[in-house]
């Protein structure tokens, strides 16, 4: 029986694919927001500062979340390694 919060080794590919999809979505989101920020000015050259500020805040928020993606990946790899070491070290032992 697995302990609460323990991830099965078969779930690792799903977690990796999820991290990749999150990275792609973050990248696309930043690209769209940057393109939107450059197109905010209307043909008359008037810039809406509130829209620019909101768009820049969105870009900063996505970039901040993207910074934590590497930490999430490292924790995932460490959990798998610790799980494998525990499996090898305690193989065949019963509690």
Per-chain mean pLDDT for the chain: 79
Residue 46 counted as domain residue: yes
Q: Which residue has the tokens 């008359």?
A: 44
Q: Which residue has the tokens 């610790």?
A: 82
Does the model's pTM come out above 0.85? no
* Residue range(s) defining the domain that contains residue 55: 11-68
Residue 92 is given by DSSP the state T
User: In angstroms, how far apart are the furthest CA atoms of the chain?
Assistant: 76
Residue 6 counted as domain residue: no
Residue 30 counted as domain residue: yes
Instruction: State the total domains in the chain.
Output: 1
Q: What angle do CA 68, 78, 28 make, to 5 degrees?
A: 30
Residue 24 counted as domain residue: yes
Whole-angstrom Cα distance, residue 41 to residue 45? 6
pLDDT of residue 44: 66
Residue 7 is given by DSSP the state P
- Given pLDDT bands bounded at 50, 70 and 90, which one contains residue 53? confident
């Amino acid at each position: 029986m697995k302990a609460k919060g323990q991830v099965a080794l078969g779930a690792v590919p799903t977690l990796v694919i999820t991290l990749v999809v999150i990275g792609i979505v973050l990248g696309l989101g930043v690209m769209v927001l940057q393109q939107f920020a450059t197109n905010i000015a209307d043909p008359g050259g008037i810039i809406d500062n509130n829209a620019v500020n909101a768009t820049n805040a969105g870009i900063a928020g996505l970039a901040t979340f993207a910074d934590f993606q590497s930490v999430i990946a490292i924790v995932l790899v460490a959990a798998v390694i610790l799980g494998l070491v525990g499996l090898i070290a305690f193989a065949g032992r019963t509690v």
